[in-house]
Amino acid sequence: MGAYVLRRLVQAVPLLWLISLVVFLLLHVIPGGPMAAYENNPDMTAEDLHRLEHDLGLDAPLHVQYVRWLAALVHGDWGYSLASKRPVLVEIGDRLPNTVYLMGVATLVTLLLAIPIGIFSAVRQYSTLDHVVTTVAFMGHSIPIFWFGLILIIVFHVMLRNPLSGAPLFPGGGMYTLGMPFSLLDRLHHLVLPVGMLAVANAATYTRYTRASMLEVIGQDYIRTARAKGTPEPLVIWKHGLKNAATPVVTILALDLPALFAGAVFTETMFSWPGMGRLFIESAFRVDYALLMAIIMVTAALTVAFNLLADVTYAVLDPRIRYG
Amino acid sequence: MNTAGVRRTLVAIGLAAALLASWPVPAFPQAKRGGVLTFALYQEPETLNPYIATQTASFEVNVFTIEGLLGVGPDGEYFPLLAKEVPSRQNGGVSGDGKTITYHFKDGLKWSDGQPVTCDDVRFTWQAIVDPKSGASGTTGYRDIETVDCPSPSTVVVRYKTFYAPFLSRFDAIMPRHAAGDPAEMPRWAYNRKPVGTGPFTMLEWVSGDHITFIPNRYYREAGKPYLSAVIIRITPSREVGKQLIKTGEIDVLWDLVESDVPELQPAAGVKISSAPSSFAERLVLNLADPTLDGPPLDQVEKNPHPILGDPRVREAIELGINKQEIIDKLLFGLATIGTNELHIGWARCATKPSEYDPARARQLLEQAGWKPGSDGIRVAQGARYAKDGTRLRLKLQTTTGNKLREQAEQLLIDYMKQIGLEFYIENVPSPVLFGSWASGAFRKHGHFDVVLYTTNPDVDPQSQVEGYFASWSSPTAANSGAGFNYARWGNKTADENINLAKNSPDINARKKAYCAVMGEIVKDRPHIYLYDRSSIHAYRDRMQGWVTNVWDRLGWNAEDWSLR
Amino acid sequence: MDSGVGGRGSGVRTSTALVVDRTPDTQPLTPSSRVRPQTMAGLAWWRFTRHRMAVAGLLVVAVLGAASTLASWVSPYDPDKPDLQLQLRAPSPVHLLGTDDLGRDLLTRILYGGRISLSIGVLAMTLAVLMGTAVGAAAGYYGGAIDNLLMRFTDLMLSIPALFLLILLILVLRSFPLPFLRGGVLAIVLAIALLSWMTVARLVRAAFLSLKEQVFVEAARALGVGNGRIIIRHILPNAASPIIVAATLRVASSIITESGLSFLGFGVQPPTPTWGNMLKNAQDQMITAPWTAIFPGLFIFVTVIAINYVGDGLRDALDPRHLR
């Protein structure tokens, strides 16, 4: 197992290097580039442009720029944002906690919703509830999430009012009420809509995974044995069933975890949430090379890491798997 | 509990605390007469340093704390801010040759950290801008300064090497030497995130991507001001959400609306709309040169005109075929005025007659120009001046993607042009592509386009805009490495002469006359067709008092007078 | 290993569920007294018709497809011609779904938009399936170094955050001086396809790995049949079922992806209507003219859910092992 993990880690290095090369090239093919921000300013002369281009190292040949970037990275230097001039890691550090906070809560809510529903719907296969769950899961999976977000805002922020205060039922954006002392209730209040938007989309998937793998487990011999031994049904389901059905769900969860860091582009944009997804979109519009490289590389590294974690989890949970 | 357990618990508590600490809780003093005003911006400023910033948002925010020697009032005229008076010949502030400008500071000026404001800060600002390593985005004007002399701490003498007509527009932001840093390190200054200024407010905190809080500057020069106890800039990336927030009163000011937002907000209780004509003119830029040539210099343009747009009759037909009034009434809800020329507002304003909507005359002009109707109604060249017979009267229309208003306007233009037998087709591109540099091969710089639609505006001093867009030497070519904005590749002797006249005259009336002569040529020749002049539209809650619209400056230009009812 | 984990094929998922495959799911077979048909195709169709939602989905897709294709006959209105006397009219008997901000009939725009949205879905799917099949077949059939190389490349593509890469790719593709890439439709098709062939490749590879050891393949090889012929004539038809199911789901996810990209401003450019850009344009009038936002979103939603049900039905029909 140790050797397997080590080998996978070693393999990841050239993979990540290739990703960096591909993304670097892609970024530099995008026309306009970061200098476009200065172009429309009639106060900028050609000399000004050249001076800035040189300052930012953008006048060097592409391969030189790449080698510079890579060499700096090896020394732990991710460079500076072209727009804010701040170190890239500081930019990311400002946004990452907010994204982890939103996505962490959303994932938790998703699982708390999806797993019990999935199990219930598997145990009561073909019941009315199962049909409803399956249909709702289908709908949750098919709904365009940004459209859903807009509708959430219209209904819960604009149309519905708090009957006591007359204020909107839920805030339409932000992480907390500005200018108020810290209040857990206020934070939760701000979480409801964005988490709701994320949970609806993701719970659908998890419900269906749980249901499918639970159905598979229920048919197995050891469940029948447990039942035959007279083990109470809830215990059969929750102990024997869930333990075994959890494997694929945990694996999928591990694969989903990079999103915890990459953030949710649509949700963050609609709910003014200062997270990583928005940072990416803003940087993409500004063609902020260093920042974009960093966001993509960090997310890619996490993806590779969590892929490995998924495989290891799978091996640990399911002893039938052997790794050479 | 064993030690390891204790340690683990402590670590966990520490982590939780660290996580909580990363969400700072804003705590500002609640002043008696104050109140907190929340101002929503769609973009987050990239920096607050005015000499590095490129985005509007940066200036909308730093206006609360950063000031210059002079300001520009709602009438487009300069007024003294840190200076005692606007330098002029009459008050001895401007030398006979216009190259030496003297400013006197108001008495007792202090930075927000209590340090006195001195002439040395002005000198430092100049040094920082012109330092080749400082990364300052524009050095126009500052480069022409020989030296900044400080005969006394409160007297600033700026000596220009050559006459620079818009001298009053320089030093519109002064940076403190003691609270900035080494000019060669300007992009890394802590100042950029937390500037020390002289304005009514000073920054308390900036939570990335979320909000920026300003509290009153204790050392502000006007006693008793500002009235507010805090201004919070709230970053609200979605306009839609911003509109809902102002309706519910969660924010007090919503910056920069588009016309189509007005019908929704107008009836909302407690929301007021401010709409004022601005210097932004939406226009079509027409390429007068053969679009297959790569950045042709002007002498080549004469020999290789655009096969369709090279003929002034076609350009006139296009303008006459556009129902500008209908666009304004229906698309912009009457919140704009018909476009006429570059200088429709400000001290250099030059009134020219708006074009008439006259499709019949447009068809007649095209007919005369040798464009005859084809089988599908679109005209075909038959004896046209530059186009080969059989050429279809078809032009590519381009603008930036994602701008709904422009996309709507484009679709109306297609329809108008169809009615006079001209076919427009849309090929929009992301803004970095349209506004890209010569080096990156941007088609606008290289002249590979027919018609481009966008907005640009002259500054308070229109010199750089007028010279940049309309002087014959401002056509981007390989020889000048793509400098200049004369994308139309328009060469006009009268215009050139007058641009030079305005550039070299210290007499404001002479400059005004010269600019107007340039405008006359533009209207006649149509390198640009002006569609409509945008209004600057903002929404605010009716509890907000004291704000005066000023299209020449940022929304927060008079924040010291703001208060909440 | 791939086959062992239910959802491995889902690859990198964004929280927005942009590029997500659904899990296998089972639908009840309603008992029927009808006689089962005898041919393979007949049997599959029979099984498909047992899945009521799938049949309903097929019907919806067929009606939408036909109405879009025949839009110029179905609708008396011009989709592009503005009529400023008719701006933002609410739904009425004359304009069933109302008019948009330039006074154009919304239903007409939706039908014409459906052409583009559905075409993007189908084209992106076709390209993705072609690429994925080619890669997967080569990897699975030849094995060894080729397999290793191709699968590492697949991993690479799966490790870059999908939505991030998609946006960069579109920025790049749009910038090529090729007129057919500029308007957006083909750039988007290409970008979506380039980022969604990987799941198909893994699926096809898995099928090929097991099929190439089968007796009929050995037999063909013994008879001297060439590799290409074996791959195309002998193995591929046997691997068709999972490909068809994956392809169907791919159409649905491509439609959602297009609308999401349009929503973020990276989509198809006007005047060409697509459901995505209609929705984006309607955003700022959600309150004053809600129909302009509700209907395009609803069409996306209904189409996607219908296609997903068709995919579900196809899975039951083509891969009876899923039925218990």
Residue B528 pairs with which residues in a beta bridge? B285
Helical spans, DSSP H, in A163-241: 184-218, 221-228, 233-235
Distance set, CA B405 to CA B400, B457, B539 (Å)? 11, 17, 18
**pLDDT on residue C31:** 45
Of B492, B307, B275, the C-alpha closest to B385 is: B307
Residue C269 counted as domain residue: yes
Task: Say yes or no to pLDDT of C22 above 50.
Answer: no
Residue A321 binned pLDDT confidence (cut-offs 50, 70, 90) = low
Q: How far apart are CA B283 and CA B341, in angstroms?
A: 9
What the block records as the tokens of A202 is 């993701």
Domain count, chain A: 1
- Chain C: partners with 3+ C-beta pairs within 8 Å: A, B
> Which region, left, alpha or beta, applies to residue B354 given φ > 0 means left and ψ of -120 to 50 means alpha?
beta
A31 assigned to some structural domain: no
Residues composing chain A: 324
Token pair in block for residue B60 = 């909308």
**What is the least distance, in Å, from the CA of A94 to any CA of chain B?**
6
Tokens, residue C304: 């996607």
The confidence score (pLDDT) of residue B26 equals 43
Return the HEC string of A114-127: HHHHHHHHHHCCCC
**Worst-scoring range by mean pLDDT, A118-132, B102-116, B412-426, B509-523?**
A118-132
Q: What is the CATH number of the domain that holds C287?
A: 1.10.3720.10
What are residue B305's DSSP bridge partners? B289
Residues of C in contact with A292 (CB under 8 A): 168
Query: Out of B132, B140, B230, whose CB is closest to A45?
Result: B140
Cβ of B426 within 8 Å of Cβ of C269? The answer is yes
Amino acid A174: pLDDT: 82
Percentage of chain C modeled with pLDDT above 90: 31
Angle at A151 between CA C255 and CA C15, to 5 degrees: 50
How many other β-carbons are positioned within 10 Å of the β-carbon of residue B340? 21
H/E element holding B278? strand B271-286
Q: Are C170 and B402 in contact (CB under 8 A)?
A: no
Question: What would the two tokens of residue A94 be?
Answer: 């400002």
Task: Give tens-digit pLDDT for B130-154.
Answer: 998 888 887 889 999 999 999 999 9
Among A306-315, B384-393, B433-442, which range has the highest average pLDDT? B384-393
In the prediction, which pLDDT does A322 show?
A: 55
- Token digits for B374? 């084809």
Query: C31 vs A300, C26, C254, C310, CA distance in Å?
Result: 49, 15, 35, 20
pLDDT at residue C6 greater than cutoff 70: no
Is residue B106 helix, strand or coil? coil
Beta-ladder partners of B429: B400
What is the share, in percent, of chain B residues with pLDDT greater than 70? Answer: 94
Predicted local confidence at residue C10, as pLDDT: 30
Q: Which residues pair with B285 in a beta bridge?
A: B452, B528
Q: State whether residue B429 sits within 8 Å of chain C by CB.
A: yes
Answer for the pair B317, B362: CB distance below 8 angstroms, yes or no.
yes
End-to-end CA distance of chain C: 23
Confidence band, pLDDT 50/70/90 cuts, at residue C182? low
Test B326 with C84 for CB contact under 8 angstroms: yes
Closest to A194 in 3D by CA, of A280, A107, A255, A130: A107
* Residues B141 and B169 sit within 8 Å (Cβ to Cβ): yes
Quick check: A299 pLDDT over 90?
Answer: no
| C-beta of residue B139 within 8 angstroms of C-beta of residue B129 | yes
pLDDT value, residue A244: 72
pLDDT of res. B20:
44
Percent of chain C exceeding pLDDT 70 equals 84
- Residue pointed to by tokens 């519910």: B248
CA B325 to chain centre: 25
Q: Tell me, which fold does domain B279-535 have in CATH? A: Dipeptide-binding Protein; domain 3 (3.10.105)
Total residue length of chain B? 565
- CA–CA dist B243, B250 (Å, integer): 10
- Residue A139 CB contacts under 8 Å (≥ 6 apart), including other chains: A204, C301, C305
Q: How far apart, in whole angstroms, are the C-alpha atoms of residue A84 and residue A167?
A: 36
**pLDDT attached to residue A179:** 67
Q: Mean pLDDT over all residues of chain A?
A: 84
pLDDT band for position A225 (cuts 50, 70, 90) = confident
Q: What is the residue type of B52?
A: I
**Is the pLDDT score of C26 beyond 80?**
no
Helix (H) or strand (E) holding B204, with range, is strand B201-207
CB-CB under 8 Å, A85 with B47: yes
pLDDT of the residue at A252: 78
Mean pLDDT over all residues of chain B? 90
User: B83 - beta bridge partners?
Assistant: B105
Q: Is the pLDDT of residue B320 over 90?
A: yes
Tokens found for residue B105: 């500071």
Q: Which of B171, B150, B6 lies closest to B72, judged by CA? A: B171
Return phi, psi of residue B453, to 5°: -110, 120
Mean local confidence (pLDDT), C275-300: 87
User: What distance in Å separates the CA atoms of residue C134 and residue C126, rounded to the nearest whole number?
Assistant: 12
Categorize the per-residue pLDDT at C240 as very low, low, confident or very high, splitting at 50, 70 and 90: confident
Minimum mean pLDDT range among B207-216, B266-275, C45-54, C305-314: C45-54
Query: Distance from CA of residue B157 to its chain's centroid?
Result: 29
Lowest mean pLDDT among A52-56, B22-26, C269-273: B22-26
Tell the burial category of B285 from Cβ atoms under 10 Å away from its Cβ (0-12, 13-18, 19+): buried
Closest Cβ–Cβ partner in B326, B411, B428 for C80 = B411
User: Quick one: closest CA in A to B58, which residue?
Assistant: A84
- Tell the CATH superfamily of the B3-276+537-564 domain: Periplasmic binding protein-like II (3.40.190.10)
Q: How far apart are CA B16 and CA B19, in angstroms?
A: 5
Which of C159, C161, C167 has the CB atom closest to A262's CB atom? C161
Q: What is the DSSP letter of B429?
A: B
pLDDT of residue C1: 25
Report the distance separating Cα B540 and Cα A83, nearest Å: 30
B561 shares contact with chain C (CB less than 8 Å): no
Q: Cβ contacts (< 8 Å) between A271 and chain B: which residues?
A: 241
The mean pLDDT value for B175-186 works out to 94
CA pair distance B284, B527, nearest whole angstrom: 9
Query: What single-letter amino acid sits at B445?
Result: K
- Parse chain B into domains and list their residue ranges: 3-276+537-564, 279-535
Burial readout B411-449 (b: 16 or more C-beta within 10 A, e: otherwise): bbbbbbbbebbbbbebbbbbbbbbbbbbbbbbbbbbbbb
For B222, the token pair is 């006007």
CATH number at residue A227: 1.10.3720.10
DSSP letters along C284-307, please? GGTTT-HHHHHHHHHHHHHHHHHH
Q: What is the DSSP string of B234-249?
A: EE---HHHHHHHHHTT
The pTM assigned to this predicted structure is: 0.82
Report residue B232 CA to chain centroid gap.
23
Cα–Cα distances in angstroms (integers) from residue C105 to residues A171, B21, B71, C110, in the given order: 35, 53, 50, 9
Place of tokens 């869930």: A242
Residue B336 tokens read as 């704009």
C305: alpha, beta or left? (left if phi > 0; alpha if psi -120 to 50): alpha
* Number of A–C residue contacts, CB under 8 Å: 182
Q: State the average pLDDT over residues A145-167.
A: 83
Residues of C in contact with A151 (CB under 8 A): 297
Q: How many CB atoms lie within 10 A of CB B310?
A: 21
Residue C166 has phi, psi (to 5 degrees) of -60, -45
In angstroms, rounded to a whole number, what is the distance separating the alpha carbons of residues C119 and C272? 13
For residue A127, how many other CB atoms are within 10 A of its CB? 12
- pLDDT higher than 50, residue B18: no
> Do C84 and B330 contact (CB within 8 A), yes or no?
yes
Asked whether residue B481 carries a pLDDT value surpassing 90, the answer given is no
CA A135 – CA A152 distance, rounded (Å): 20
- Whether C59 is covered by a domain: the verdict is no
- In this predicted structure, what is the pLDDT of residue B503? 92
Phi, psi of A314 (to 5 degrees): -60, -45
pLDDT above 50 (res C33): no
Distance CA B532, CA B332 (A): 10
B209/A174 CB distance under 8 A: no
Question: Residue A144 domain-assigned?
Answer: yes
DSSP characters over A56-70: TTTTS-HHHHHHHHH
Mean pLDDT along residues B442-447? 90
CA dist C171 and A27 (Å) reads: 9
Write out the residue range of the structural domain in which residue A118 sits: 83-317
Which H helix or E strand runs over B79? Answer: strand B78-80
- Supply angle C-alpha C10, C11, C17, rounded to 5: 65
Contact C271/B326, CB-based, under 8 Å?
no
Q: Angle, to 10 degrees, between the axis of helix C240-264 and the axis of helix C106-142?
A: 130
Query: What pLDDT shows up at residue A320?
Result: 61
Is A135 part of any domain? yes
CA distance, residue C131 to nearest chain B CA (Å): 28
How much is the pLDDT for C179?
Answer: 62
Q: B19, B36, B38, B46: which to substitute to probe chain A, counting the most A Cβ within 10 Å?
A: B46
Average pLDDT (C81-100) is 90
Shortest CA distance from B19: residue in chain A = A97
Identify the bridge partners of residue B70 per DSSP, sorted by sequence position.
B80
- Alpha helices (H) along B110-234: 119-130
Instruction: List the single residue in A with minimal CA-CA distance to B18.
Output: A97
Is residue A41 situated within a structural domain?
A: no
How many structural domains are present in chain C?
1
Amino acid symbol at C320: P
Task: Name the packing angle between helices A2-29 and A62-74 (round to 10°).
Answer: 140
Range of the domain at C156: 116-324
- Residue A140 contacts by C-beta under 8 Å, 6 or more apart in sequence? A200, A201, A203, A204
- Locate the chain B residue with the closest alpha carbon to A283: B46
**B261 touches C at CB < 8 Å:** yes
Q: pLDDT band at A249, cuts 50/70/90?
A: confident
Find chains touching chain B: ≥3 CB pairs under 8 Å: A, C
Residue C107 counted as domain residue: no
Across B30-44, B331-345, C5-19, least confident range: C5-19
